[in-house]
Structure formats: structure tokens, C-alpha cells
Structure 1
Amino acid sequence: MNTARQLRDKLEHARRLMDEGEPTLADLAASVGLSASHLQRRFAERFGLSPAEYLSQRKLGTLKGALREGSDVSAALYDAGYGSPSRVYEGGAAKLGMTPARYRAGGAGEQIRWSIADTALGQALVATTERGICMIELGEDAAALEAKLHAEFPKAQLERVDAGRDEFLAPRLRAVAEALAGRQAQVPVDLIGTAFQKKVWDALMKIPHGQTRSYTQIAEEIGHPRSMRAVANACANNHVAIVVPCHRVVRGDGSLGGYRWGLPMKQRVLERERVA
């Protein structure tokens, strides 16, 4: 077995160990036969996250899923591996965009500021709490976009602000607009999902502009060659259009397949990228 394959297998083994528990970096390194510094660097290169960040994303994804399903907050926190409520408030709540109890309650007690910007691909709704972006949605109908925001956070205090009038929201609106125009832009995204979904989304962001991959190729890339349907589901659950480019995933025969924002939009985006 060549050296590159051996390293890849060790990194996959490290990822599986973190999916099953919460090993320390030292324990993880010893288990896979790498130094801690080498593991830290190589893991980040392959998955786009440090081992600690990977663990954080996995736990947060588990917590969010349980809360969305209506689980008791304390039980959801324990099942996600936080140990005590204070652990999630130290880091998780900021990424969730609000406290777990408020998320489960539809955003009750939260103030969410949002705006809609005209972009090269239509209108984009960007919503944020004081801690970070909590939603990005695309469409042609402003009323429909707003309705989706209300459905996601039905009990939050929603406040629309004019573009450019909010110091926190304005730069994020501009960054999203730049990305949708096909230009390079640093868009702060909060990829909250299961560990599997996160792996799929990471793989999508590595597909170059103007290129596509099949669901089978993505499944093989992330080390789950028989999980094509799960890959498709992860694409369907991507709430960050274009920035996480699920439009670049097509069927094995080259046909478009599905798309959360509609096949006409998928076709437009792919054509724009091919021209660019």
C-alpha cells in the first residue's frame, strides 16, 4: 500500500473514532499511529476542519437534529455529548445562532435581523442573530422567501433592515451577492448538520468551478461508496445555496438530478460557471 493511501486510511480511521466518541488529540494520534501535530495538520487538509472542530460540528449537528424533532432540551444536550448545559453555551450556542431551548421553541425570545439583496441569480434572503448567520435562502419572490424565514423561526422577533443599514448584516449581504455573481468572496457559513452531511458538504466545496461530480463519485470521495442516496439527501438538506455548491452534483449519466432551488436555477448556475 502506498504512503498516500496509508495516510488517507489513517485519517478516515481518526474520523470514525470521533464519530463514535470524544478522544483527545493525543489518544487519537496514538490510535492511528501519527504524531499529534502531523494528525492535526493532515486532518485539517483533508476535511477542512481540525479534529476539535470536527467533534464540535458533529455534536452540534446531533443537538440541532434532536431539538428540531422536539426532544427535551436537557436530554438532547446529554445525547449530543455536551455533558452539562454550560458546555453548549461556551461554544455551541453561538454556532446554533441561539440557545438550544430557544431554537427548539422556534426562536422564541430571539431577535433576528434580515434583509433581501438582489443578486446575479435573483433575490437572496440573509438572516442573522447577533451571533451569526442563521439562514440564507434564494428565490424570485420576496414574499415566499420571507415566509420560509417565518417557517424556520416562527416565534422569533423578526426585524427587516435595509441593506447597508446594519453593521453586522451588511458585509454578509455583500459577500453573498459577490459569491452568487461568481466572484471570489469570503462568506461566513455555519455548516450545521450530521457528521456525514458535513463530509458531503466539505467534498462539494472542493469541486472546482465549471466542473461537476456524480453522486457516486462524492460517495466514493468521502469513503462511503454505497451511500449515493444519503449523499443526495445531504445535498437536499443544504441550506446555503451556491456557497456550498450542491448544484455541481449530477447523476451518473450527466443529467441534472434534483435541486433544492429548482432545476432551472441549477442549469443557470452551471452554465454561468462553465462560461466563467
Structure 2
Amino acid sequence: MNQMTRFKPAPNRVDAAMPDDNACWDAFVARDRAMDGRFVGCVATTGIYCKPSCAARHPKRENMAFLPDPAAARAAGYRACLRCRPDAVGRDRLAVAAAIAFIEAAEETPRLEAIAVHAGYAPHHFHRLFKRETGLTPAAYARGVRAGRLKAALAQPGSVTAAIYDAGYSAPSRAYADARQHLGMTPSAWKDGGRGAAIRWRVVDTSLGAMLVAATDKGLCRISFDEGEADLRARFPHATLLPADEALDAMAQRVAALVDDPASGADLPIDVRGTAFQQAVWAALRAIPAGETRSYGAIAAAIGRPGAVRAAGKACGGNNLAVLVPCHRVVRGDGSIGGYAWGIERKQALLAHERRK
């Protein structure tokens, strides 16, 4: 018997976290790194299995089968590709998950060296790995965690100074620097419903309806359909709401253009609040190419938290920047459309329009 005849296309298993055959093949053709770890491709003619992003030449479609993980591939008689090393994907993501847990449990921001040692990698290599998996550096993720603690502490009774130290900051200056990045305003303003913050806003017409566009002096803080001044004031009850100036008018027109031209706003400045987890999810959303979709499970896996599918869904629901942060490109694992804060019909229209581009 020819040595290779024993490698027949393995039966494709149905798995809730695994895309269907066509989606798997599309991921291989696109060498989609975001799909690494969700399944492996088995090549009947060579007897090897690869991760979706493998740089090797693609085999013919009829010679490919897809299985949920390396263990299933090995059980079917395949061996790991030496070029893409698919077995390392699971180890890498487990290491990132361990690092995230380490960062979130630490009372003070841990140094990169300590995080890498905990994960079992060299610091420089782990820095690249962590950013590839989460979209953030370990330091940026840690700053987000600490800013999230500050946000929670500011919501409690007591002084701003006490909240700053309770959140783990050693000095108020660092807290104010992080607050400008993660809260969009100073800790005092955040604690007092946005008091002292200036937000300019306007409503623009788009092909999918009226859109609210609002921004601080740092960047866009709210993009939404079917909202107006009352909705914005409810979010920032003590902020100073100002009419649009020339700069915001120009920005609003670019935001409106996103509905019909998704690539037109790639460099728009943003100023959104969120935990480190939310920011990682939002970064993963912005990495989805127009015309493509990802499941909630794929987003969770892409940020190194494969078990946090429900939390990834909540982070999508907490997105403040409609269209610019494209949460409409996330669907359920079975391919169904899923929810959308601004209406299912609008989500379907956005996806249909992007596919035609």
C-alpha cells in the first residue's frame, strides 16, 4: 500500500466553536491569523495539518479536511506542519491568558520581565506575542486594567485622591495621564458626571438614517444612530455640550461617509472609555476587513481569552462608536446575524453593502 493512501480526508466534525467547511477554506485562502487556534486544516496528499495562517502553498480544495484541534488531527493520523507549527497556537494563547490573569491579579502594574517569566517566554518574544494576540502591549493592557479600577473606585463614595490610591496608582499624575486616555476626561470630571468636560456634537444624515456624532477635544466619543442631544446629555449629565464647530463638521462628514465607504475613516481620532478587555475587543473589531465577519468566539480567541465569548459579546454591545468600530461585522458561531444595538436591519444593510464593495 502506498504510504500516503492512509491519509484520507478526515470526516469533518460539527463543533460549535468551529466554522463550517467553506469558512475554514476561506480562512486558509486568506491566511487569516485571527482564525488560528479555532481549527486546523488537514492535507491528505502530505499527511500534515496546518493552522489557517500557514504561509505554505495551498493544496487543492478536494485534498483538504478540517478538524477542530491538533489532537483530533493527530488521532486521524496527521502530523504537525514544521513551517507554521500549529501546536504552538494553543500554547501561545494559554500563555497570553495566563499573563492576563497575572496582570489583573497584581496590586501594582507588573514589569514586562515578570509577566514574561510567569508566561514562560523571553520578554521581547512575549511582548510581540501578546500584542499579536490582544492588539495591545502588556504595558497598555496593564494601564487599562488600572484605569478600570480607577473608574470603579471613582464611582464609590470618597475623595478623588482616595480613589486614585485605591486603584493602585503611586502618584496622582499617572492617574490623570491614564484618565485622559481611558476615561476621556479627568478623574474629577468623570466622578462628577462629566463636569468640566466639553463635548461638541451634531446629527448628520446617512444612507441608513440620522447619526449622532460627538467628540471631545481628543477625539470621537460617541457615534450612534437614532440619538440626539437628550441621549448625549443622559450619558454626560454634567458635561458642557457645545454645537459643532468647523473641525467637528468636517469629522462628522467623514464619519457619515463610513456607512458607504468603510475605509474612509481609518485615521479618525477616538476618545472612548473602556476596560482593558473592552479595548482589546474593540481593537480586534477594527482589524476585521470590510466585507468579512467574525464570530464572538473568534473575537474572544483573537484577544487571548477563548473562554470569554459572552464577555466579548458584551464588549461589542458596549461599543460607543458605531461603524467606526465595526461591531456589525460580528455574528454568531452558527453564522446567524446576532444582535446589534442600532437594529438588525441596519446591521444586515451594512454587511450587504460591504460585501458589494
Shift of 1:76: 3.3
* Cross-structure match for 2:256: 177
* Mapped contact 2:183–2:274 kept (Cα < 8 A): no
Pairing 1:271–2:352 present = yes
Deviations along 1:195-222, one digit per CA (max 9) or x if unpaired, are 3323332333333322223334434444
Secondary structure of 2:222's aligned partner: strand
Shift of 1:271: 1.1
Alignment of 1:101-250 (within 5 A): 101-139=188-226, 144-162=227-245, 165-166=246-247, 169-170=248-249, 172-184=251-263, 185=265, 186-250=267-331
The one-letter amino acid paired with 2:259 is: L
RMSD: 2.7
Shift of 1:19: 1.9
More helix by share: 1
Secondary structure of 2:315's aligned partner: helix
Secondary structure of 1:180's aligned partner: coil
**Cα distance change of structure 1 residues 62 and 134 upon mapping to structure 2, 3 Å threshold:** farther
Deviations along 1:240-276, one digit per CA (max 9) or x if unpaired, are 1122222122233433232111112111111111212
Deviations along 1:72-126, one digit per CA (max 9) or x if unpaired, are 3334323332233222123423542221121221222222222333334333322
**Cα distance change of structure 1 residues 193 and 89 upon mapping to structure 2, 3 Å threshold:** same
Secondary structure of 1:209's aligned partner: coil
* Mapped contact 1:127–1:133 kept (Cα < 8 A): yes
For 1:222 and 1:44, locate their aligned partners in 2 and report how far apart those are by CA, in whole Å.
9
* Mapped contact 1:110–1:156 kept (Cα < 8 A): yes
Flag structure 1 segments of 5+ consecutive residues without an equivalent. none
* Mapped contact 1:61–1:193 kept (Cα < 8 A): yes
Alignment of 1:70-81 (within 5 A): 70-72=156-158, 73-81=160-168
Question: After TM superposition, what 4+ stretches of structure 1 lie above 6 angstroms from structure 2?
Answer: none
Shift of 1:2: 3.1
* Mapped contact 1:58–1:193 kept (Cα < 8 A): no
* Mapped contact 2:220–2:272 kept (Cα < 8 A): no
2:135 aligned residue (11, 34, 48):
48
Secondary structure of 1:271's aligned partner: helix
Alignment of 1:73-92 (within 5 A): 73-92=160-179
* Mapped contact 1:94–1:132 kept (Cα < 8 A): no
1:13 aligned residue (98, 101, 120):
98
* Mapped contact 1:25–1:36 kept (Cα < 8 A): yes
Shift of 1:37: 2.6
For 1:195 and 1:98, locate their aligned partners in 2 and report how far apart those are by CA, in whole Å.
17
For 1:220 and 1:4, locate their aligned partners in 2 and report how far apart those are by CA, in whole Å.
11
For 2:230 and 2:350, locate their aligned partners in 1 and report how far apart those are by CA, in whole Å.
24
Secondary structure of 1:207's aligned partner: coil
Shift of 1:4: 4.1
* Mapped contact 1:116–1:125 kept (Cα < 8 A): yes
* Mapped contact 2:184–2:273 kept (Cα < 8 A): no
Secondary structure of 2:128's aligned partner: helix
Secondary structure of 1:83's aligned partner: coil
**Cα distance change of structure 1 residues 89 and 220 upon mapping to structure 2, 3 Å threshold:** closer
* Mapped contact 2:294–2:330 kept (Cα < 8 A): yes
Larger mean Cα displacement after TM superposition, 95-104 or 75-84: 75-84
Shift of 1:160: 0.5
Pairing 1:260–2:341 present = yes
Flag structure 2 segments of 5+ consecutive residues without an equivalent. 1-85
Secondary structure of 1:151's aligned partner: helix
**Cα distance change of structure 1 residues 227 and 46 upon mapping to structure 2, 3 Å threshold:** closer
For 2:130 and 2:305, locate their aligned partners in 1 and report how far apart those are by CA, in whole Å.
18
For 1:117 and 1:100, locate their aligned partners in 2 and report how far apart those are by CA, in whole Å.
31
Pairing 1:39–2:126 present = yes
**Cα distance change of structure 1 residues 109 and 201 upon mapping to structure 2, 3 Å threshold:** closer
Q: Work out which of the two has the higher radius of gyration on C-alpha atoms and give 1 or 2.
A: 2
